[in-house]
Structure 1
């Protein structure tokens, strides 16, 4: 058997190639997982853009100098196991390379999850090293795997952004400005913020995506990027930047004289992210990168793990009920199977093209799992 992976140039994300290696024997305690399907969103492009700065390239080293494997979220099935606690056929949700299979070293097993104890991941954020066992996963439902792959990691970030803002009393502002308002992480955040009494949620988006954002019902108002003057310049506000556009950040910081806080989440404008962005010398507060694992660590310490999980699961189910409402779904999955289709889908997502209602589900595995 062999494993096929999509590798990208770390210094030029548009350059890709497929890399195939023969599968070697497992060591004691290891399992091989077939990666059945994974989501590809602008969030994954952010991982690549910050690959060096935030160690995302280290999760799945390629062994090829200058080339990286972008981490993605999705589902896999155990096809081989030399670990007594993990059975062949088990379904897992977690963090994968863009590949057809991967070898894990399960450790710290519970009924709900385990950790990959591979030595090269030991110093990386623990939240990315956990694999959830679908049979006991409180967020899992078999009929929503596509939606889970697409939205689960993004919504957890959205939920944590909302919690972080509330935890800081919204920095004394009542108006939240969200760029790239049509993106999944942005509208997940807006969904949470809309439930906060007295908070105005303003979406900033490109003109073609304005109607989509308005249709969601979680923004109090939606402005095109060239309509910042639709808000009074002295409005006390917080900027939550999902776009990563230096030019937009500069415009927002310049326009709003009472900007209380500027949060950088990631970015859909990868060409600016990869270059470090423009707008470094902007007026107002310094843009601060939001790092979700830090808020997870803080809240887990304050609330305890079980309570953290209970709150997050409740929020997730409420969000999914809204997103998948049959009469007006926010998202539909589009599948891309096979090497050529995966490469094409990656190029489209990297370029920021497509309908915001479409979510991309990819697979490099051949056929269905045989376990």
Structure 2
């Protein structure tokens, strides 16, 4: 099957406006020293990717894979195969996990090549955190299996964020709060955090999930939140208790409502996601703690110093293994993987996710190159 090189781009100032455009892919003979041509086999699209688009300018997500003026390519996590290489130590046919555009192909400048993988040394990517520029060689990744690729692209990057928020809150003694409020409680990053918090036997904080009425049953059945309420019930929470708010939804109206309800008892407030991408206003001039953006790589950097070489990876690996048990349980798994192929499926998933109508128990893995097994 001949693959027509293409990429999926969105209007930065009007996210529902999207289109596919042809992609210029170099011939193997055109590659410069150090360059590698990758064919993107599969990638995940979750509410986290909507966050990348919603915070594209503020967090520099649009800078990873530049598109034409006014348009952006939303970064995704996935797997790709080497089609051609002019980089020593990176061979044709090898498979790499990492950060990719929503496209059929990507050309990178392979630097810092090691047994573990390589870093894209492209000049336009150097201002961003190195975590996003590293490509992991599947043959040497101890956590990789062919059978778990879908779960890896769907949950691994999200769970790293969940793990680091849990650690950050504990590192700061939960800011003296009695409860942790988590919005968009059915989202994968949210329930990853709730799972981590549920493991704390000495937990001082109650974990309260906030979700839509449609997702109440799903979230309650997970059994990891101490309490689950719908958004229209938030003002029934006791305002005299000290709380921290982890905003996975990016809903400015909800944020304002919670800050005004708890006032000075809002001890910490962070925005992690933007699933309600169209309601991101309302973060300024609020009572209580000033809302901030949570950036997982900053906490990772701190812990790399605190825990020493391999400390983050070891702790994360143990937590990941525990998390996988309920997620992929034989009976009543938290997530079911669905595959999509081609322009129509990619656009449908994007529009569904953007519209906030995606099912919480589904995980979407897509490809513009082939029908997935």
Matches for 1:198-277 after TM superposition, within 5 Å: 198=203, 199-257=205-263, 258-273=265-280, 277=281
Report the Cα distance in structure 2 between the residues aligned to 1:329 and 1:353, rounded to whole angstroms.
20
Which structure carries more relative contact order (alpha carbon 8 Å, separation 6+)? 1
How far does residue 200 in structure 1 lie from its aligned partner after superposition?
Answer: 1.2
Q: Which residue of 2 aligns with 1:86?
A: 90
Matches for 1:329-348 after TM superposition, within 5 Å: 329-348=333-352
Task: Tell me, yes or no, if structure 1 residue 13 matches structure 2 residue 15.
Answer: yes
The two structures have a TM-score, normalised by structure 2, of: 0.95
How far does residue 179 in structure 1 lie from its aligned partner after superposition?
Answer: 0.5
Matches for 1:60-79 after TM superposition, within 5 Å: 60-62=65-67, 64-79=68-83
How far does residue 229 in structure 1 lie from its aligned partner after superposition?
Answer: 3.7
How far does residue 263 in structure 1 lie from its aligned partner after superposition?
Answer: 1.2
How far does residue 250 in structure 1 lie from its aligned partner after superposition?
Answer: 1.1
Matches for 1:119-138 after TM superposition, within 5 Å: 119-138=123-142
Structure 2 portions without partners, runs of 5+: none
Are 2:339 and 2:366, in contact at CA under 8 Å, matched by a contact in 1?
yes
How far does residue 72 in structure 1 lie from its aligned partner after superposition?
Answer: 0.4
The two structures have a TM-score, normalised by structure 1, of: 0.95
Match 1:323 to one of 324, 327, 332:
327
Which stretches of structure 1, 4 residues or more, deviate above 6 A after TM superposition? none
Report the Cα distance in structure 2 between the residues aligned to 1:218 and 1:272, rounded to whole angstroms.
27
Are 1:247 and 1:279, in contact at CA under 8 Å, matched by a contact in 2?
no
Q: Cα deviations across residues 109-131 of structure 1 (Å, max 9, x unaligned)?
A: 22222111111111211110011
Structure 1 portions without partners, runs of 5+: none
Report the Cα distance in structure 1 between the residues aligned to 2:300 and 2:153, rounded to whole angstroms.
20
Q: Cα deviations across residues 171-209 of structure 1 (Å, max 9, x unaligned)?
A: 011311000000110000000011122321110001110
Q: Which residue of 2 aligns with 1:185?
A: 189
Aligned residues: 365
How far does residue 279 in structure 1 lie from its aligned partner after superposition?
Answer: 4.8
Q: Secondary structure, in 3 states, of the residue corresponding to 2:310? A: helix
Q: Secondary structure, in 3 states, of the residue corresponding to 1:105? A: strand
Root mean square deviation of aligned Cα:
1.5
